[in-house]
């Protein structure tokens, strides 16, 4: 038996937009501990720009792993493997010799490359990108961020000439640091979110890299989600730990929710909200206004998914706190639930543009319908409705494409809001199954890590980890009233999209 296979625990680290958290899981799929969240501070040097300090990201990953182990009352000597999920499109460029980053990490939320995206659109790249990668031409994805770094940082050009430049999604640099400089890799699911992966071949697209003028030799090696890619530097945790179980966050949550079969869908309500629908083995499927992505690639199987993303969800609630309309996030239901409607007010939540199904990166947020009697509680209610309404737009786009969703599994911090969950069920007209485990993302990579070290051989062997905490059923009376308001909101949203 492989030595790591016999060890009783796994660590999975969820490196998220605002913090890093980790879990410890045993062979039965029981989560023994969840670490505290170690903050990752967003930096906003200019309007529309969002960055992070890479070193803070890395330290938050290490601290989360140590915290989870301490809370579980175990030692790192008992850990079979460490898994890691990442933010997705966030990028880090660095010197391969020293590991020193070129500038800060550029967030998935960042919009600085809008002009470059427009240039690529004028060059006729939109359709080739859609057909080869399943994505849309948008600043959200990684390719334009990497090109921006090459254009704007002389240091990047110098490193390129010397053969030392490395660039990719944030997981590549984090793994480089975790392995003491030994490996520079990304998993295939994360690669599918870069706008550079050939979705059919699951390799970097030579055609698109040539058109983007991005050097293939600087990109990470693509590996499976359950592939053992090396070990952690012994200096970090006192012992080398195998690293396996690598995936982008939203796909990991789909896996952690047990959505292994076609037409099974989940929505994760975090900083943003992302609805993914498993479409099986078809890499060629395309749905108007939505994305086609690799959900995961394992040793003996793979799956694709159709996704629609809402860039602003939990971040809206944080913004309400900043405005002083909520004292803290946990006050959301008390305020939003103190009224049974928003008194006709509407929020179009385009704080980082409008993603699926509009894809208007220059769109910006706005209020509509306010009058002298409008109170903060109505605006808070409207903000909650705006999240549910954006998800309804994506649900409709999937339905119009013939993608069946009989119900939806949901996870993430905002699922604690009973008001939001009921509004969401009412406006979709389907049941929402809330996971008992709010850490579906980390759970997904833990399961992948277990597959990677041989704890389990196939999907059918995995323990049942997706247990139900609550089910929200649509209220037909409320649904009728809410649908009228949604139709009004939708008309305004389409106008906002058309203006940009």
378 falls within a domain = yes
195 and 300 together in one domain = no
Q: Would residue 394 count as lying in a domain?
A: yes
On whether both 343 and 471 belong to a single domain, the answer is yes
Question: Is residue 271 domain-shared with residue 402, that is, in the same domain?
Answer: yes
* CB-based contact 223:246 (threshold 8 Å): yes
* Spatial separation of the C-alpha atoms in residues 9 and 76, rounded to whole Å: 9
Residues 156 and 240 in one domain: yes
- The SS3 of residue 478 is helix
Of the candidates 250, 284, 310, which is a domain's last residue?
A: 250
Whether 269 and 233 map to the same domain: the answer is: no
495 and 422 inside one domain: yes
Whether residue 453 lies inside any domain: the answer is: no
Last residue in a domain, options 227, 250, 273: 250
- Judgement on whether residues 116 and 226 belong to the same structural domain of the protein: yes
Question: Over the Cα atoms of the chain, what is R_g?
Answer: 22
pTM, 2 dp:
0.91
User: If 0-12 CB within 10 Å is exposed, 13-18 middle and 19+ buried, where does residue 94 land?
Assistant: buried
CB 40 within 8 A of CB 57: yes
| 449 within a domain of the structure (yes/no) | no
Same domain, 172 and 265: no
295 domain residue, yes or no: yes
Specify whether 244 is located in the same domain as 195.
yes
Q: Can you give the residue range of the structural domain that contains 301?
A: 258-435+467-500
Task: Specify if 452 maps to a domain.
Answer: no
State whether 134 and 280 are in the same domain.
no
Q: Please tell me the total count of domains within the chain.
A: 2
Residue at 448 is within a domain: no
Q: Residues 149, 191: one domain?
A: yes
Distance (Å, rounded) from C-alpha 29 to C-alpha 227?
20
Q: Quote the CA–CA distance of 436 and 271 in Å, as a whole number.
A: 19
Question: Looking at residue 53, what is its pLDDT?
Answer: 98
Point out the domain boundary residue: 231, 250, 269: 250
SS3 157: helix
pLDDT tens per residue across all 500 residues of the chain = 455 678 999 999 999 999 999 999 999 999 999 999 999 999 999 998 999 999 999 999 999 999 999 999 999 999 999 999 999 999 999 999 999 999 999 999 999 999 999 999 999 999 999 999 999 999 999 999 999 999 999 999 999 999 999 999 999 999 999 999 999 999 999 999 999 999 999 999 999 999 999 999 999 999 999 999 999 999 999 999 999 999 999 999 999 999 999 989 999 898 899 999 999 999 999 999 999 999 999 999 999 999 999 989 999 999 999 999 999 999 999 999 999 999 999 999 999 889 899 999 889 999 999 999 999 999 999 999 999 999 999 999 999 988 877 778 998 889 999 999 999 999 999 999 998 877 889 999 999 999 999 999 999 999 988 788 899 999 877 777 899 999 999 999 999 998 87
Q: What is the DSSP string of 374-442?
A: --HHHHHHHHHHHHHHHHHHHHHHHHHTT---S-EEEESGGGG-HHHHHHHHHHHTS-EEEES-S-HHH
CATH of the domain at 484: 3.30.420.40
- Contact partners, residue 231, CB within 8 Å, separation at least 6: 179, 240, 241, 242, 243
Residue 18 domain-assigned? yes
Residue 68 and residue 168 share a domain:
yes
């Amino acid at each position: 038996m492989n030595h790591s296979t016999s060890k009783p625990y796994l660590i999975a680290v969820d490196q998220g937009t605002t913090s890093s958290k980790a879990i410890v899981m045993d062979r039965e799929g029981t989560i023994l501990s969840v670490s505290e969240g170690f903050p990752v501070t967003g930096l906003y040097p200019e309007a529309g720009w969002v960055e992070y300090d890479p070193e803070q990201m890395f330290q938050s990953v290490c601290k989360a792993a140590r915290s989870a182990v301490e809370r579980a009352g175990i030692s790192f000597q008992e850990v079979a493997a460490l898994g890691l999920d990442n933010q997705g499109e966030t990028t880090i460029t660095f010197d391969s010799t020293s590991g020193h980053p070129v500038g800060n990490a550029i967030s998935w939320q960042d919009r600085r490359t809008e002009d470059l995206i427009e240039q690529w659109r004028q060059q006729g790249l939109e359709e080739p990108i859609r057909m080869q990668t399943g994505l849309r031409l948008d600043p959200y994805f990684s390719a334009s961020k990497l090109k921006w770094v090459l254009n704007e940082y002389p240091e990047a050009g110098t490193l390129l000439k010397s053969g030392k430049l490395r660039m990719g999604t944030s997981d590549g640099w984090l793994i480089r640091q975790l392995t003491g400089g030994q490996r520079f890799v990304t998993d295939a699911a994360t690669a599918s979110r870069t706008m550079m992966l050939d979705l059919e071949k699951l390799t970097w697209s030579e055609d698109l890299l040539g058109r983007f003028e991005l050097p293939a030799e600087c990109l990470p090696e693509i590996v499976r989600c359950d592939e053992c890619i090396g070990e952690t530097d012994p200096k970090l945790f006192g012992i080398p730990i195998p690293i396996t179980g690598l995936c982008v966050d939203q796909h990991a949550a789909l896996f952690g929710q047990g959505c292994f079969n076609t037409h099974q869908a989940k929505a994760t309500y975090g900083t943003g909200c992302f609805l993914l629908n498993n479409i099986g083995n078809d890499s060629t499927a395309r749905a108007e206004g939505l994305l086609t992505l690799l959900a995961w690639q394992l040793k003996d199987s793979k799956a694709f998914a159709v996704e629609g993303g809402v860039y602003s969800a939990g971040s809206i609630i944080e913004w309400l706190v900043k405005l002083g309309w909520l004292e803290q996030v946990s006050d959301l239901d008390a305020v939003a639930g103190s009224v049974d409607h928003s008194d006709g007010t509407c929020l179009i939540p385009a704080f980082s543009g409008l993603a699926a199904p509009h894809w208007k990166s220059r769109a910006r947020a706005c209020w509509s319908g306010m009058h002298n009697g409008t109170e903060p509680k109505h605006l808070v209610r409207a903000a909650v409705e705006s999240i549910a309404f954006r998800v309804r737009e994506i649900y409709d786009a999937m339905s119009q494409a013939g993608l069946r969703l009989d119900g939806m599994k949901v996870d993430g911090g905002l699922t604690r809001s009973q008001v939001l969950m009921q509004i969401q069920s009412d406006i979709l007209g389907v049941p929402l199954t809330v996971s008992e485990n709010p850490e579906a993302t980390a759970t997904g990579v833990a399961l992948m890590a277990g597959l990677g070290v041989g704890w389990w051989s196939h999907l059918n062997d995995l323990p049942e980890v997706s247990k139900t905490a609550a089910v929200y059923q649509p209220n037909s009376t409320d649904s009728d009233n809410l649908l009228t308001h949604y139709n009004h909101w939708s008309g305004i949203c389409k106008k906002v999209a058309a203006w940009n």
